[in-house]
A and B are shown apart, each in its own frame.
Chain A
Amino acid sequence: MSDTTRLSVFKTYKLYVGGKFPRSESGRVYEVSDSKGNWLANAPLSSRKDARDAVVAARKAQGGWAGATAYLRGQILYRVAEMLEGRRDQFVREVADAEGLSKSKAAAQVDAAIDRWVWYAGWTDKIAQVTGGANPVAGPFFNLSTPEPTGVVTVLAPQESSFLGLVSVIAPVIATGNTAVVIASEKAPLPALSLGEVLATSDLPGGVVNILSGKAAEMGPHLAAHLDVNAIDLTGADADLARELEIAAAENLKRVLRPRTEDFAESPGTDRMTAFLETKTVWHPTGSLGASGSSY
């Protein structure tokens, strides 16, 4: 055996769009460093064309994902947790580098993120009972309200919490049947890009989650104005960008979740799910059972 130290194999970080791992169509990359300024990787600097491609992929996947049974969506989200558990060490390393955390603190973030997938996996087949129900209208009608996914949701992931925050904003969007176009934290995109590799091996249909790295300020305005996007989560935007994007989002009346102070370590409520749900109410006469059968 030679006594030379083995040179490690770097990974080229790529986007995750439509279930595939493309580079940015623009060919651009930007340098990602750790908290001490050491080079970590060249991440794709996604363009607005990448963002549009991601919307196409998300739209294509939306009907099938929303149409899947809630049970199946729960199984798949749980599978994401299983896959993450197996790659825990990798994510601990990436989160520690990205956020300048000690190994034990990074591990706590990753563990909480894995547990968050488990929490939302359990929600898929419960949220409809919690937010919907029968309405006792004053007349002979069957009347039922049910929540339905809004559609394609653009998510500006939090800038600081590169993994726990990321998971905390993606999982509630897709748990209910939406599909997502995610702009990762600009300075710490690597855990997000690696999450794409986990999602790709978790039975999640391609296009349900699409992950872009780059500048929220560059892609955000195009996604906020995109007429085939139904909603936008502005968590990762600063106040000025959030206002600009909310104005652009009014063009087709996107549902907007404004940025707010948020501690991702705390137990989430249901409001990140309900922010991207519509309520559909269906009426039908109950009629009466006469000799002639049904009547309206």
Chain B
Amino acid sequence: MTSPFEYAPAPESRAVVDIAPNYGLFIDGEFTDAADGKVFKTVSPSTEEVLSEIAQAGEADVDRAVKAARRAFEKWSALPGSERAKYLFRIARIIQERSRELAVLETLDNGKPIKETRDADLPLVAAHFFYYAGWADKLDHAGYGADPRPLGVAGQVIPWNFPLLMLAWKIAPALATGNTVVLKPAETTPLSALFFADICRQAGLPKGVVNILPGYGDTGAALVAHPDVNKVAFTGSTAVGKQIARTVAGTDKKVTLELGGKGANIVFDDAPIDQAVEGIVNGIFFNQGQVCCAGSRLLVQESIQDELLDSLKRRLSTLRLGDPLDKNTDIGAINSEEQLSRITSLVERGEAEGAERWTAACDLPEAGYWFAPTLFTNVTQAHTIARDEVFGPVLSVLTFRTPDEAVAKANNSQYGLSAGIWTEKGSRILAVANKLRAGVVWANTFNKFDPTSPFGGYKESGFGREGGRHGLEAYLDV
């Protein structure tokens, strides 16, 4: 069907960002090659075009970076908090100044729509630095005793789904509290972290306070295991999180883990359907569903299942999938070939196990990694697609009759990161929110984030909180 409201292409200009053909590791304020000379390529997932060639950090580089961070720690932690604060304010401002450039860069390297990087990722990145900047000279008043001390060198490993935002979540509180940082960005999205290194240069941040080590999982493992790292912060899969928990066992390293999820989005029969549909779409198709707190399990009250699903399918059919740089694009590319094949195989498993698949009709571009918005009905709690994190634009629909059943099904998961509740009845929101075993509960909204709001999971979604006053604890010796 041809819509009378066709969109003309509205691409954001790529000219605003200048990507160098290659980048080094950022250690002690300098870009440098890896000790063993290894490099890897980062590609644009929407076109498979090679964007740049990146130095790949090995064990020797990890050691060099940790030593640089250790050297920098003494002076950095001794700075008056008010001075550290001003560095972070500078960084926040430079991010705001360069936000269009960084948004385009992130969209190129990650594949997510420019609409999201421009309106969600980048504003939140700047806000996060701005928020923690203000804490740097107020730690005495944070509820962790007088003059709480930093831990030392923080080893931080971040994922590819929100590359710069996860960097901000990690680096801002670490620096505000007086720690120094060695950060490993994900292998498929190293560029924004390397651009952040340039922002540190512009801000005049002392050498060695922030070190960036692009690399694969083995680089991260070496960083986590390094004996002179005092603090480990990881965002990523539950499997790797468990491995990290084993690695740090028996050490003094403080650890926070922000891991997978299988968020339940519960829609009661009195919910405002139109708003709920928007919330469901936002919950599972924001960032192509590659979100740890995605609302990937829709729990809908039986009596409104048909009405809600009709409305939802109609809405999904209007989502625009394609060029992530186009300002009208709703669904961008899947981040990597590997992730696409994981999504594909879990969807095949869903079909094989007897769930009913529906996929929005839309043309997929020839190059790049794409997956059309998909939902499954006739899903039971035993189905793999109701239990495993797909980390893609795939929604599993289950039903319930009573609030108790909804809560029991929502909590029937190894994870406990997020949940949603849609109802007009206030007391029901509070009663259900109270019983959900999840770190973040969105009622009549979904996927809202803010630097003042603590974020993190129950159960196997990890431990520790990022954001807010709570987020300071992870970086203080308390």
Contacts and interface: CB of A to CB of B under 8 A. Distances in A.
A253 B452 contact: no
A280 B439 contact: yes
Given A230-B459, A247-B249, A282-B443, A141 B448 contact: yes
A139 B448 contact: yes
B216 interface: no
B442 interface: yes
B429 interface: yes
A251 B239 CA distance: 9
B255 to A, nearest CB: 9
A201 interface: no
Interface in A136-182: 136-139, 141, 143, 145, 150
Given A145-B453, A253-B460, A284 B242 contact: no
Contact of A253 (B257, B429, B440, B442): B257
Nearest to B450: A137
B456 A282 contact: no
Nearest to B275: A296
Contacts of B249: 243, 246-247, 249-250
Nearest to B414: A252
Contacts of B67: none
B260 to A, nearest CB: 11
Given A141-B448, A243-B250, A284-B444, A252 B460 contact: yes
Contacts of A35: none
Contacts of A242: 250
- Classify the interface of chain A: helix, strand, loop or mixed: mixed
A275 to B, nearest CB: 10
B138 to A, nearest CB: 15
Contacts of B365: none
A23 interface: no
Contacts of B452: 135-138, 143
B372 interface: no
A12 to B, nearest CB: 38
A108 interface: no
Interface stretch (B83-91, B281-289, B305-313, B463-471): B463-471
A250 B239 CA distance: 10
A283 B441 contact: yes
Task: Give chain B's interface residue range (CB within 8 Å of chain A).
Answer: 35 or more
A90 interface: no
A131 B243 CA distance: 30
B81 interface: no
B444 A296 contact: yes
A289 to B, nearest CB: 15
Interface of A: 130-131, 133, 135-139, 141, 143, 145, 150, 230, 239, 242-243, 246-247, 249-253, 255, 258, 269, 271, 278-285, 296
B125 interface: no
B454 A135 contact: yes
B478 interface: yes
B458 interface: yes
15 contacts: A135-B468, A141-B448, A143-B450, A239-B250, A243-B250, A250-B246, A250-B249, A252-B460, A253-B242, A253-B245, A253-B259, A279-B454, A280-B433, A285-B444, A296-B445
A143 to B, nearest CB: 5
Given A143-B450, A252-B414, A279 B250 contact: no
A280 B438 contact: yes
A178 B64 CA distance: 44
B238 interface: yes
B448 A279 contact: no
Contacts of A135: 450, 452-454, 468
A271 B456 CA distance: 19
Contacts of A131: 143
A8 B436 CA distance: 54
